[in-house]
């Protein structure tokens, strides 16, 4: 499958072929249908000091705002089904702080 990746430190991204990921017992595999580009992605593209301070491992695939369809679920997953449409946001949430409670 294709992925837009940061393959080395420096400006730019590269469209590359990557192995399709598996789906472990607690995983949900999503076919991404749409994705957003946020400020973090622009920092990574430019490889400015902000990106360098938060990205300590290269190569990687940036992007954490997406919409897609569930194509596979692990055996331990009970609240999502194949065919569900979901949106993803890759930040970890606690559910109890002011920002989480505000939605």
Do you find a cis peptide bond into 30, omega within 30 degrees of 0? Answer: no
Q: Report the candidate in 61, 56, 49, 53 with the shortest Cα–Cα distance to residue 11.
A: 49
Closest CA to 67 of 28, 36, 27, 23: 36
Alpha helices in 1-103 (DSSP H): 39-46, 49-54, 98-102
Sign of CA dihedral 41, 44, 90, 84: positive
Provide the annotated active-site residues.
40, 43
């Amino acid at each position: 499958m294709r992925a837009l990746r940061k393959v080395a430190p420096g400006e730019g991204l590269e469209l590359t072929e990557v192995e399709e990921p598996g789906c472990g017992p607690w995983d949900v595999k999503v076919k991404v249908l749409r994705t957003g580009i946020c400020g973090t992605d622009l920092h990574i593209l430019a490889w400015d000091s902000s990106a360098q301070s938060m990205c300590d491992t290269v190569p990687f695939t940036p992007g954490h705002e997406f919409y897609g369809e569930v194509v596979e679920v692990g055996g331990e997953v009970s609240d999502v089904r194949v065919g569900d449409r979901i949106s993803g946001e890759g930040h970890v949430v606690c559910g109890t702080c002011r920002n989480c409670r505000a939605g």
